[in-house]
Amino acid sequence: MANTSSTGGYLQGHLLIAMPSIGDPRFDRTVIYLCAHSATGAMGIVLNKLLDNIAFPDLLDQLNIKAGPANAQIRVHYGGPVESNRGFVLHSADFVREGTALVGQNIGLTGTLDVLRAMALGQGPKRALLALGCAGWAPGQLDSEIQANGWLTAPADPDLIFSPDIGDTYGRAFAKIGIDLGALHSTAGHA
């Protein structure tokens, strides 16, 4: 059963954890932070997949943004299959500018160049995840996928969202809701 938030049964600000049986390779073993979920649809950012074909300094060069010396440590994530050329920064709420949407508790989402400029100069949010693309669902689509046992939900955890060690994000997300990932089988939930 899905955990519901205080936003009328919607899961904005929660984590989505793909079940092993999800059947969609784009979301295999993914953990997604839901930035929006309402009657009009849902949008989230994949937390645990990196893009290996682009580095942050290269992205800044493409955008003609001057970079500071510490930018090599910022990794570029695969945010999802929708709007793959658009950048999103999921970050701590200590950075709020025009265009920042506050999501959940102490989490912001900014999709403007201002946040990249600030990050390039070392003046951005204390904690941040830069992603290209996002995951999106039409009205009712995510709800149907959850009811079909494609996803589990969990309360958001900033330490999981911004963890530099994304290799264990999937297992840690299951542990957060008390499920041993090793005990799950890819056909779980099917008769």
Question: 3 lies in a domain?
Answer: no
Q: Are strands 151-155 and 14-18 parallel, antiparallel or unpaired?
A: antiparallel
Q: Which residue segment(s) compose the domain that 50 sits in?
A: 14-183
Number of domains in the chain: 1
Question: 116 lies in a domain?
Answer: yes
What is the full per-residue pLDDT of the chain (191 aa) written as tens digits?
Answer: 333 334 456 899 999 999 998 989 999 999 999 999 999 999 999 999 999 888 888 888 888 888 776 666 789 999 999 998 899 999 999 999 988 999 977 999 999 999 999 999 888 999 999 999 999 999 999 999 999 999 999 999 999 999 988 999 999 999 999 988 777 754 445 44
**Contact criterion met (CB below 8 Å) for 39 and 139:** yes
Question: 1 lies in a domain?
Answer: no
Q: What is the CATH number of the domain that holds 84?
A: 3.40.1740.10
Question: 74 lies in a domain?
Answer: yes
Between CA 104 and CA 14 the distance in angstroms is: 7
Among 147, 127, 145, which residue's Cα sits nearest to residue 136? 145
Name the pTM for this structure.
0.88
Question: 156 lies in a domain?
Answer: yes
Question: 89 lies in a domain?
Answer: yes
Question: 115 lies in a domain?
Answer: yes
Q: What is the full DSSP assignment across 124-137? A: S-SSEEEEEEEEEE
Q: What is the 8-class DSSP label of residue 10? A: B
